[in-house]
């Protein structure tokens, strides 16, 4: 049985099974899917006279002599082997027991690197196998290399993997529909498993990996599409009525014109809002690209049709910023008519857009108990139209009268359950997720395959690019002088460090230690603030608010400010240890400045001067396109540093790569086609596939 413990395999004891468990391998099926991380090419067979030093190669020879010798002061095994072209030595350090494995005249295969010792070529600790003792799996072929943990040897894991493949691979049930497999020229599942472990050649290895990667992405895409179907199956009584007069008035009152990208995205959102299926859309746009104005108009349109709208942000300061921005947009075309007593929680009303006032409120964790009770009562009664807030919006006490549109800003900062909790405050409301983090297209299609995606890919005209330069640490004093000059002239600055406290492992300057140094010795004349992720939430909010309000001149921080507040007076971003940040993260940090009229600067000081570090930082100097940088970042670092896997819902792909755009698009296309033909995977021939999707998405999808 594929579900049997791996202890059914000869030689795997309970103790060994515990070691495999550290690698996620518990059953025979797990071992079959425990694919090699790479291969060593021992397929190049040579005669002894042709052997070259410092290359992977294989010789087949006869054992001439076997003995125990002293190697480096310790006992080991020495073998003399020969063929028709000559003899050579092979040695194994600290393995004297091997001498008993070899007999004179045995035919042996040796694979590995050859070194030169005292003018003679010698195999040092090569892989070996005796001819006539079964199929060669350690030598003379593409040899698999597996991830290991303490107590597991590569040779033994290889043997056990071979036994699993030979004894159980044939039992694997084919999950892909025959037409998909044929159309995409894919190997059968048993053959793919066999070839991924012990490929006949590199082409077969590639084909095997493609089949297994296809499976992972195909099943994931099916789950995402089914989740979207489940979300949209519960339809509204009617679509939102889009009042074009409100749109025209809102646009005419703005002190700027929307960019072409904003107009395109707005039309996509309006189309969704006017549909009976609830919207589930991700809006991407860099800092300053104008996402908030699109959200404000969308919320106003929901209110115009009798619904409430909500916008949830990850921090109080960001929620306050959104509240101020949306109030500003509405005030352009409406009169602020009233404001409730601040002691009870402010409710602001604007007259002019609708036949009645549009009411707004801010609900955050820092609000007093009295304010929260007052606002919750008003929200429940439907007396507040647009509610801006933080996690406070998803507390049990908050009940909406008729929530029609929920907007979530910096949505990846919220967990899946938190996003779902806001949605459940209404009857399947429209959902608009926003993020300022440029997400590579391949990752977006995978991570957010259940959403439609809109991108604002241009900045408003007149927005200045942030001048970016990387400098060596010896220029630090000049950098400090530059910051001093900017602050003396009314500006503010960020100084970012990769760590919170000093680390003996990482040679990086730390925020806490450097804050003391900077505030006491470098900038004693200025007001400095400290911000990092381990601070209590209330303290973080206070520091960010003080910096926003101009009460702090220089903010010393970790990357916690990557998603943060709008501080127009901040004109300098200094990033220490810049080589320890990804390109996307550095671009996000750079986006914290350049929000005002003054020219802004981003200075990068690396701790490492490797070729790769210099190339990456030089790229950041020249390129200001966040989406291009995100694609490059994905190639360099993989997906893990974009969002936490558990929070984003991304599974642990063993074979698939999110940088494989072509395969992602193919699997998505095939998944859409299959669900068009069999919406619930209910046909008998799709039973195995349905089971695999259920296993991956357990608890995530409602199956009829």
* Cα–Cα distance, 79 to 381 (Å, whole number): 88
Written as six digits, the tokens of 315 are 């921090």
pLDDT digits (tens, 9 = 90+) for 2-11: 899 999 999 9
CA nearest to 45, candidates 92, 124, 110, 122? 110
Alpha helices in 10-63 (DSSP H): 14-21, 28-32
Backbone φ and ψ of 243, nearest 5°: -90, 105
* Cα–Cα distance, 270 to 340 (Å, whole number): 32
What kind of architecture, by CATH, is found in domain 244-456? 3-Layer(aba) Sandwich (3.40)
At residue 704, the pLDDT reads 34
Hey, which CATH number is domain 44-140, 2.40.50.140, 3.10.50.40, 1.10.150.20, 3.40.50.2020?
2.40.50.140
User: Which residues lie below 8 Å from residue 89, measured CB to CB, with a gap of 6+?
Assistant: 78, 79, 80, 120, 122, 123
Q: What is the separation of C-alpha 625 from the centre of its chain, rounded to a whole number of angstroms? A: 19
Radius of gyration (C-alpha) of the chain in whole angstroms: 31
pLDDT digits (tens, 9 = 90+) for 305-355: 999 999 998 888 888 889 988 988 888 877 776 555 544 557 888 888 888
Please compute the mean of the pLDDT values over residues 632-640 and round it to a whole number.
67
Q: At what angle do helices 687-696 and 202-233 cross, to 10 degrees?
A: 80
At residue 648, the pLDDT reads 44
168 in Cβ contact with 683 (< 8 Å): no
At residue 418, the pLDDT reads 64
89 in Cβ contact with 65 (< 8 Å): no
* Cα–Cα distance, 121 to 118 (Å, whole number): 8
User: Which residues lie below 8 Å from residue 139, measured CB to CB, with a gap of 6+?
Assistant: 42, 58, 109, 110, 111, 127, 128, 129
Q: What is the mean pLDDT of the chain?
A: 86
Written as six digits, the tokens of 385 are 């139209």
* Cα–Cα distance, 108 to 213 (Å, whole number): 36
Please compute the mean of the pLDDT values over residues 634-655 and round it to a whole number.
58
* Cα–Cα distance, 109 to 90 (Å, whole number): 11
pLDDT digits (tens, 9 = 90+) for 535-583: 887 888 889 889 989 999 999 998 877 556 778 899 999 999 998 888 8
pLDDT digits (tens, 9 = 90+) for 340-394: 554 455 788 888 888 889 999 999 887 788 888 889 999 999 999 999 998 888 8
309 in Cβ contact with 303 (< 8 Å): yes
At residue 629, the pLDDT reads 86
CB atoms within 10 A of CB 645: 14
686 in Cβ contact with 694 (< 8 Å): no
Domain 467-623 belongs to what topology?
Rossmann fold (3.40.50)
26 in Cβ contact with 20 (< 8 Å): yes
At residue 73, the pLDDT reads 84
CB atoms within 10 A of CB 409: 26
pLDDT digits (tens, 9 = 90+) for 80-94: 999 999 999 999 999
CA distances from 442 to 112, 488, 639, 659 (A): 38, 45, 10, 6
pLDDT at 651 over 90: no
At residue 644, the pLDDT reads 39
At residue 345, the pLDDT reads 55
* Cα–Cα distance, 586 to 604 (Å, whole number): 9
* Cα–Cα distance, 192 to 607 (Å, whole number): 44
Judged by average pLDDT, the poorest of 232-241, 480-489, 682-691 is 232-241
**Bridge pairing between strands 86-92 and 56-71:** unpaired
pLDDT at 698 over 70: no
Judged by average pLDDT, the poorest of 47-61, 193-207, 457-471, 482-496 is 457-471
pLDDT at 126 over 90: yes
DSSP string of 360-415?
A: EEEE-TTS-HHHHHHHHHHHHTT--SEEEESGGGGSTT---SSEEEEEEETGGGS-
CA nearest to 409, candidates 531, 331, 316, 328? 316
* Cα–Cα distance, 301 to 247 (Å, whole number): 8
pLDDT at 138 over 50: yes
């Amino acid at each position: 049985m594929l579900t049997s413990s791996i202890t059914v395999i000869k030689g795997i004891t309970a103790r060994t099974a515990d070691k495999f468990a550290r690698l996620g391998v518990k059953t025979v099926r797990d071992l079959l899917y425990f694919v090699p991380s790479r291969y060593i090419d021992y397929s190049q067979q040579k005669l002894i006279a042709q052997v070259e030093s410092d290359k992977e190669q294989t010789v087949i020879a006869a054992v001439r002599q076997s003995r125990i010798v002293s190697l480096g002061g310790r006992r080991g095994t020495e073998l003399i082997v020969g063929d028709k072209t000559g003899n050579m030595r092979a040695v194994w350090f600290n393995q004297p027991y091997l001498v008993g494995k070899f007999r004179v005249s045995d035919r042996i295969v040796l694979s590995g690197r050859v070194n030169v010792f005292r003018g003679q070529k010698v195999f040092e600790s090569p892989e070996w196998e005796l001819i006539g003792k079964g199929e060669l799996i350690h030598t003379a072929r593409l040899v698999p290399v597996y991830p290991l943990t303490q107590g597991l040897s590569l040779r033994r894991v290889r043997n056990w993997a071979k036994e699993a493949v030979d004894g159980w691979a044939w039992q694997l049930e084919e999950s892909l529909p025959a037409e998909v497999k044929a159309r995409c020229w894919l190997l059968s599942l048993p053959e793919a498993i066999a070839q991924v472990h012990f490929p006949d050649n590199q082409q077969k290895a590639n084909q095997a990996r493609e089949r297994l990667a296809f499976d992972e992405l195909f099943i994931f895409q099916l789950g995402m599409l089914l989740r979207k179907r489940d979300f949209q199956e519960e339809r509204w009584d009617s679509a939102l009525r889009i009042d074009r007069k409100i749109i025209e008035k809102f646009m005419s009152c703005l002190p700027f014109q929307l960019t072409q990208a904003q107009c395109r995205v707005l039309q996509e959102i309006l189309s969704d809002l006017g549909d009976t299926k609830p919207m589930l859309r991700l809006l991407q746009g860099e800092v300053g690209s104008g996402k908030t104005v699109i959200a404000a108009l969308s919320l106003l349109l929901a209110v115009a049709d009798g619904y409430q709208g909500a916008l949830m942000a990850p921090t109080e300061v960001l929620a306050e910023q959104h509240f101020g921005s949306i109030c500003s947009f509405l005030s352009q075309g409406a009169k602020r008519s009233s404001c409730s007593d601040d002691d009870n929680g402010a409710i602001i009303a604007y007259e002019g857009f609708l036949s009645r006032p549009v009411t707004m409120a801010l609900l955050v964790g820092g609000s007093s108990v009295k304010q929260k009770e007052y606002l919750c009562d008003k929200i429940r009664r439907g007396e507040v139209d647009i509610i801006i807030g933080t996690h406070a919006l998803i507390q049990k006490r908050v009940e909406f009268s008729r929530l029609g549109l929920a907007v979530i800003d910096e949505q990846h900062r919220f967990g899946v359950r938190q996003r779902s909790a806001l949605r459940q405050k209404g009857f399947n409301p429209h959902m608009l997720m926003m993020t300022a983090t440029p997400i590579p297209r391949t990752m977006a299609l995978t991570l957010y395959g259940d959403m439609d995606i809109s991108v604002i890919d241009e900045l408003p005209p007149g927005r200045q690019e942030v001048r970016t330069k990387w400098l060596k640490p010896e220029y630090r004093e000049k950098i400090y002088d530059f910051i001093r000059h900017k602050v003396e002239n009314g500006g503010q600055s960020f100084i970012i460090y990769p760590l919170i406290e000093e680390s003996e492992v990482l040679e990086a300057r730390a925020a806490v230690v450097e804050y003391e140094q900077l505030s006491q010795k470098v900038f004693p004349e200025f007001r400095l603030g400290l911000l990092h992720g381990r601070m209590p939430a209330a303290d973080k909010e206070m520091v960010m608010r003080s910096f926003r309000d101009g009460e702090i001149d220089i903010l010393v921080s970790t990357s916690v400010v990557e998603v943060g507040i709008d501080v127009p007076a901040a004109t300098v971003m200094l990033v220490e240890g810049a080589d320890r940040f990804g390109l996307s993260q550095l671009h996000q940090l750079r986006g914290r400045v350049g929000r005002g009229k003054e020219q802004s600067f981003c200075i990068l000081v690396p701790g490492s001067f490797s070729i790769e570090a210099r190339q990456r930082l030089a790229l950041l100097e020249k390129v200001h396109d966040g989406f291009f940088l995100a694609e490059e970042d994905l190639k360099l670092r993989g997906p893990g540093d974009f969002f936490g896997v558990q929070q984003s819902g991304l599974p642990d792909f063993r074979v698939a790569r999110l940088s494989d755009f072509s395969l992602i698009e193919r699997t998505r296309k095939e998944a859409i086609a299959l669900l068009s033909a069999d919406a619930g995977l209910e046909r008998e021939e799709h039973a195995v596939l349905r089971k695999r999707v259920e296993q991956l998405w357990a608890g995530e999808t409602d199956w009829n």
